[in-house]
């Protein structure tokens, strides 16, 4: 996981296929580790604390994810504030942009308002778009390198992990209910009672004629 995700720092706009492969393989191992932790962590707890352990693990994952997203977003924003101006300055000036407007143009690019920038021309836009992939690849390189710090913490944590083989048994310590099998309920038959009549249903009364 650490190796494949960290290897994304070597990507350039010309190595898109490599980036796709690393993006598939790296997160695959991330998911494997998360599922293994969710399945094995409760096994080390007492039966009464299984729910608490699972909830605590989910909370730690959410908190850790929030911290990581904040760190990565901050790093990316800070790097783009330097990589975009340094990459677009020369092409934009050569395309006709005044040198004193490079900073404002970089701010417009980051805000997604390049097309509405005052005095923008097609040649300047083409010059900027041609170097933006390089600027973003340089910024994301720092983000992926920062990932190695979190990966290092994960590797150290793995060194302290214990063997869970002895807990992988078919014994269930907690069951729903009292664990006793209840006998099947007997089917009850419902009898249909005909209301009493003066004559049987299939027998007509005999008629007599007085002579």
**Secondary structure, 3-state, 62-109:** HHHHHHHHHHHHHHHHHHHHHHHHHHHHHHHHHCCCCHHHHHHHHHHH
pLDDT at position 85 is: 93
Q: What pLDDT, on a 0 to 100 scale, did the predictor assign at position 42?
A: 79
Rounded to whole angstroms, the Cα distance separating 172 from 158 reads 27
In which residue ranges of the chain is pLDDT below 50? 185-191, 211
Assess contact for 143 and 76: CB atoms under 8 A.
yes
CB atoms within 10 A of CB 16: 11
* pLDDT at res. 78: 94
Instruction: Indicate the domain borders of the chain.
Output: 2-167
Contact 91, 121 (CB under 8 A): no
* pLDDT computed for residue 182 by the predictor: 55
Structure tokens at 110: 């980051």
């Amino acid at each position: 996981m650490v190796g494949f995700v960290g290897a994304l720092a070597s990507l350039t706009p010309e190595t898109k296929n490599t980036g796709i492969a690393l993006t598939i393989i790296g997160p695959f191992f991330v998911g494997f580790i998360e599922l293994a932790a969710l399945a094995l962590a409760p096994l080390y707890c007492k039966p009464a604390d299984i729910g608490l352990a699972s909830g605590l693990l989910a909370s730690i994952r959410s908190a850790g994810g929030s911290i990581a997203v904040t760190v990565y977003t901050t790093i990316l924003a800070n790097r783009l504030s330097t990589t975009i101006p340094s990459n677009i300055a020369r092409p934009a000036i050569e395309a006709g942009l005044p040198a004193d407007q490079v900073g404002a143009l970089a701010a417009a690019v980051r805000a997604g308002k390049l097309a509405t920038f005052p005095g923008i021309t097609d040649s300047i836009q083409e010059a900027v778009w041609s170097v933006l992939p390089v600027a973003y690849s340089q910024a994301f390189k720092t983000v992926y390198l920062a990932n190695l710090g979190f990966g290092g913490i994960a590797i150290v944590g793995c060194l302290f992990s214990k063997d869970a083989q002895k807990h992988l048994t078919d014994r269930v310590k907690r069951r729903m209910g009292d664990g006793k099998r209840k006998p099947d309920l007997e089917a009850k038959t419902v009898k249909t009672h005909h209301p009493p009549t003066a004559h049987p249903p299939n027998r007509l009364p005999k008629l007599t004629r007085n002579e």
